[in-house]
């Protein structure tokens, strides 16, 4: 079994996941597009990049409060994978959650989740009894494309 750990170091998450929740198969995700997943009651936006790296951020747009980021425009700035909100087009770094638009230092950040791939399955990290730091019941999963 081969596991490629893609996110904890990349997103700077100091917490090590205590468990990994299977969300979907890698082949279910379209390259350069987003998909929404309900993980432990929390809406998460998953993005499969051109090189099959998968990154996860909160589905909620911090500027509008709408759960739409999986429908954003996937791109890049200076080699950094990004998503632009489909509503007001703020651009976020998919690895760190930072807003890359002017005034981004003061802008809200997206929460990120550790992701890894195991035998073609996308797994989202559960940290300290929570998924991505959100308190909730035992992990469950639903995926919407």
- Locus of tokens 């940290």: 127
The whole-model pTM stands at: 0.78
Torsion angle, alpha carbons of 61, 16, 51, 81, to 10: 40
Residue range 3-144, CATH number: 2.102.10.10
Pairwise pLDDT comparison (40 vs 53), residue with the higher score:
53
Ordered by start, the domain boundaries in the chain are 3-144
Most confident of 40-44, 63-67, 129-133, 137-141: 63-67
User: Is the pLDDT reported for residue 127 higher than 80?
Assistant: no
Q: Is 140 strand, coil or helix?
A: coil
∠ CA(85), CA(112), CA(28), 5° rounding? Answer: 75
pLDDT at residue number 120: 98
pLDDT in tens, 42-66: 999 999 999 999 999 999 999 999 9
* Mean pLDDT (whole number) for 4-16: 48
């Amino acid at each position: 079994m081969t596991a490629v750990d893609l996110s904890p170091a990349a997103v700077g998450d100091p917490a090590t996941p205590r468990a990994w929740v299977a969300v979907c198969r890698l082949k279910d995700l379209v390259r350069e597009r987003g998909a929404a997943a309900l993980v432990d009651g929390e809406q998460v936006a998953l993005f499969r990049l051109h090189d099959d790296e998968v990154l996860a951020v909160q589905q909620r747009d911090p500027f509008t409060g709408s759960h739409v980021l999986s429908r954003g425009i996937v791109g890049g700035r200076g080699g950094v994978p990004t998503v632009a909100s489909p509503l007001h087009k703020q651009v976020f770094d998919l690895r760190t959650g930072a807003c890359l638009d002017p005034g981004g230092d003061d802008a809200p950040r997206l929460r990120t989740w550790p992701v890894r791939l195991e035998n073609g399955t996308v797994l989202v990290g559960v940290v300290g009894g929570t998924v991505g730091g959100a308190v909730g019941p035992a992990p469950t999963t639903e995926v919407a494309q």
